[in-house]
Homo-oligomer: A and B are copies of this chain.
Amino acid sequence: METMRTGTNLPRVGGFNRAVVLDTIRSLGEVSRVELAERTGLTPQTVSNIVRRLIGEGLVAEAGTARSTGGKPRVLLRVVPSAYYAAGVHIDPERLTGVVLDLAGGVVARSQWHAQDSSPGAVVGTMGRLLTQLLRRAGVPRARVLGLGVAAPGPLDAQRRRLIMPPNLDGWTDVALADVLEQRTRLPVVIDNDATAAAIGERWVGGAAGSFLYVYCGAGIGGGLVLADQVHRGTTGNAGELGHVTVQPGGRLCFCGKHGCLEAYCSMRAIVAQARADRGLEGPAESVAGEYEVLCRAAAKGADYEVRLLTEAARRIGAVLGDVVNLLDVDTVVLGGPALRHVGELVRDEAERVLRERVFARAVLSPTVRPSAIGEDAGAIGAASLVLEGAYSPRLATLLGTEINSYQPMNIPRHSQGGVPGTSLPPHPDS
């Protein structure tokens, strides 16, 4: 049980400060050296030295000047978006979504593929083709791609980088997805839970910061946790399983083997099954996603039954959010994912209403629920953000020479020579 805290030393401090400067430039978009020093708490001399090297490495460029309040105009710095790219793929039972992001987090290509055959072999093949197609379309050379991020439904075995038992993906029991994809694509591959990926993506594009819960509504319902600026993945990388919080003790049997889970009532499949039963239709839906979409379109137009159906689901989600907020004391909940198409506002409003009724410390805590800045493609953008986050975000682990979170899924190779210290960015291909 005993874990020792470790001290730190000069090279680690240098690397960490470098990563802090790069991340600050990225997240502010454009910033002067003076403001960088103010923001980071580093001395102007340190900032100046770090910036000189980042410019030399082709990662940062000067981008015109800003009017200064007296004195000479300040030169603005920005990240060079085309210096590197990251690819991301989201695996959903009914489709694959792929994106390519540049170093500044902009989406430079996007593609979607409706899977006919969802066996692991077929999906890996499709992912390889999808990636090649995306990079070609974006005009991005493979040498500039830092890695491929994959977002998948949990649970996963983070240590062995395998999907264990994705609920809605038949035949995917214990698949070594990262290894297989690395062989196929010759890129470093990182996998993570889709909701955690979405949370990282949300932070990456500036949609949320500090502490928040990301609720990913896809085929199922997952949660991604960012607590005090750190992504919380837990001991095995499976934190955030909102979908399996009990909402009805002894209630409907869930595929996970428990009774009364949130997903047994509020997954796309459950909502569609409920609607079919209410209408006396027999057998399962031909296309869950298709029928779900029809229900949501009707709800968006104000159809009574569908509004009630979706409101009831939102109420259950809000109740679970109440438990989570009481447990974690976060004041921001972000809702995203494809299941919210057409009904984002309806679900948000009702979930927030129910959540607020349930906050124990309501005298001081008044949480808000808001829509995701990355929306429907949250999974895929989040997957690509995993690569960028792992490759260039300042990590306390760097500073402490250890892993501060129990589990960090990054396996992007670290470039000890010629790369950017404190990050795992390789040396720039042109430098």
Which A residues have a C-beta under 8 Å from some C-beta of B?
1-10, 13, 16-17, 20-21, 23-24, 27, 39-43, 46, 154-155, 157-159, 164-165, 174, 206, 208-211, 223, 225, 227-230, 232-242, 244-249, 256, 258, 319, 322-324, 326-332, 357-358, 360-361, 363-365, 394, 396, 399, 401-402, 404-406
Set B4, B329, B330: member contacting A40, Cβ < 8 A: B4
| Residues of chain B with a CB closer than 8 A to A46's CB | 7
Contact between chains at A361 and B328 (CB < 8 Å): no
CB neighbours (8 Å) of A17 from chain B are 7-8
A16 to chain B, nearest CB (A): 7
Q: List chain B residues, Cβ under 8 A from A40.
A: 4-7
Shortest Cβ distance from residue A361 to the other chain B in the assembled complex, whole angstroms: 4
Contacts of A365 on B, CB cut-off 8 Å?
235-236, 238
Interface of A is mostly: loop
* Contact of B235 with A331 in the complex, beta carbons under 8 Å: yes
Q: In this complex, what residue of B is CB-closest to A24?
A: B4
Which residue of the partner chain B has the closest CB to A206? B2
Q: Are B2 and A323 in contact (CB under 8 A)?
A: no
Known: A227-B227, A234-B328. A360 touches B1 (CB 8 A): no
* Minimum C-beta distance from A292 to chain B (A): 23
Least Cβ distance of A42 to chain B in Å? 4
Tell me the bound Cα distance from A236 to B239 in angstroms.
22
A401 to B43, CA, bound (A): 13
Q: Check B244 against A209 for contact (C-beta < 8 Å).
A: no
B329 & A210 in contact (Cβ 8 Å cutoff): no
Contact of A20 among B6, B229, B258 (CB under 8 A): B6
Q: Which residues of B contact A5 (CB under 8 A)?
A: 20, 23-24, 40, 229, 394
Contact A157 B363 (CB under 8 A): yes
Verify B361–A406 contact, CB threshold 8 A. no
Once the chains are docked, how many angstroms separate the CA of A206 from the CA of B258?
35
Write out the residue numbers on chain B whose beta carbons fall within 8 Å of the beta carbon of A248. 249
Known A211-B235, A360-B238; contact A39-B327, beta-carbon cutoff 8 A: no
A406 B211 Cβ-Cβ under 8 A: yes
Name the B residues within 8 Å of A360 (CB-CB).
Answer: 154-155, 238, 241, 244, 256
Choice from B3, B225, B319, B402 contacting A249 with Cβ under 8 Å: B319
Give chain B nearest CB distance to A244 CB in angstroms: 5
Residues of B within 8 A of A406 (CB): 210-211, 228
A7-B20, A8-B17, A363-B157 known; A399+B399 contact, CB < 8 A: yes
Contact between A228 and B232, CB atoms less than 8 A apart: yes
- The answer to whether A326 and B7 touch across the interface, beta carbons within 8 angstroms, is no
Beta-carbon contact of A234 and B329 below 8 Å: yes
User: Hey, which chain B residues are within 8 Å of A20, CB to CB?
Assistant: 5-7
Q: Would A229 and B155 count as touching, CB distance under 8 A?
A: no
* A324: B residues at CB distance < 8 A: 327
Top 6 nearest A-B pairs by Cβ distance? A234-B329, A155-B361, A238-B361, A239-B329, A241-B326, A7-B17
Can you report 20 residue pairs joining A to B where beta carbons are below 8 Å apart? A1-B206, A2-B27, A2-B209, A7-B41, A7-B42, A10-B13, A41-B402, A155-B363, A158-B364, A228-B230, A228-B404, A228-B405, A232-B328, A233-B329, A235-B330, A236-B364, A236-B365, A241-B327, A245-B323, A258-B357
